Chain A
Amino acid sequence: EAQVTQNPRYLITVTGKKLTVTCSQNMNHEYMSWYRQDPGLGLRQIYYSMNVEVTDKGDVPEGYKVSRKEKRNFPLILESPSPNQTSLYFCASSLSPSGRYPSTDTQYFGPGTRLTVL
């Protein structure tokens, strides 16, 4: 089954304790992206990756790191989490970068990771 998986689904942690949220897709997609969703703010892009070893900042990258060593995986790293990073996080992937192949710009979303930083 074509899907995007995220782990963990729920995480409660404390300020400053490094954590990684994993994201994996089995659709051979080039483009992967991380979003955070907060009440009243909608979805905001954190980082995106056009392909292996190619990553770039989205709208709210501060406090986050990513890596793309393999096509299928795109982990989100919080080196020193803070309470303002409490949010619902979504990973998404699409076959190709938005705008290049309009017919394939559909993004497939993972189920979400609810993170609470105390």
Chain B
Amino acid sequence: SQQGEEDPQALSIQEGENATMNCSYKTSINNLQWYRQNSGRGLVHLILIRSNEREKHSGRLRVTLDTSKKSSSLLITASRAADTASYFCATVPNTGANSKLTFGKGITLSVRP
């Protein structure tokens, strides 16, 4: 079953602009992760934010988490053409040790040079 739902489904921006992608989920989570996938390739982990954290940074990436709204956002600042990819949020539900990662359907980001 899909837990995270990303918004928008597709985003096209100019190089140098910021890209904001959102993810909403339904049940209580242990942590939320963002992944990136270049066309036809494996997913690469970008950042993990735990349920007791509100914001994390990694280079040009900034992730926020609002557990009261059950939502997260991924901000890519000063985007580059190389950021063109699909981005997925994935949630780990707060249901015990065997809980698993559930992915959303992804956001397609196009950064125009």
A residues sitting closer than 8 Å to B (CB atoms) are: 4, 33, 35, 40-45, 48, 50, 56, 58-59, 88, 90, 92, 97-100, 102-103, 105-112, 114
10 shortest interchain CB distances as A-B pairs: A42-B105, A109-B42, A99-B99, A43-B103, A100-B97, A98-B92, A109-B43, A106-B45, A99-B30, A111-B42
User: Is the Cβ of A105 less than 8 Å from the Cβ of B101?
Assistant: yes
A-B contact pairs, 5 of them (CB 8 A): A50-B98, A105-B33, A105-B48, A108-B45, A110-B42
Q: Which residues of A contact B92 (CB under 8 A)?
A: 98-99, 102, 105
User: Is the Cβ of A40 less than 8 Å from the Cβ of B33?
Assistant: no
Whole-angstrom distance between the Cβ of A5 and the nearest chain B Cβ: 11
Q: Which residues of A contact B95 (CB under 8 A)?
A: 99
User: Is the Cβ of B33 less than 8 Å from the Cβ of A106?
Assistant: yes
Give B69-113 interface residues, CB cut-off 8 Å to A: 88, 92-106
CB < 8 Å neighbour of A90 from B43, B100, B105:
B43
CB < 8 Å neighbour of B41 from A35, A58, A59, A112:
A112
User: Is the Cβ of A105 less than 8 Å from the Cβ of B97?
Assistant: no
Q: Which residues of A contact B88 (CB under 8 A)?
A: 42-43
CA distance A59 to B41 in the complex (A): 22
Q: Which residues of B contact A40 (CB under 8 A)?
A: 105
CB < 8 Å neighbour of B48 from A33, A106, A112:
A106
B40 sits at the interface (CB 8 A): yes
User: Is the Cβ of A42 less than 8 Å from the Cβ of B104?
Assistant: yes
B10 sits at the interface (CB 8 A): no
User: Is the Cβ of A41 less than 8 Å from the Cβ of B30?
Assistant: no
Of all chain B residues, which has the CB nearest A109? B42
Of all chain A residues, which has the CB nearest B96? A99
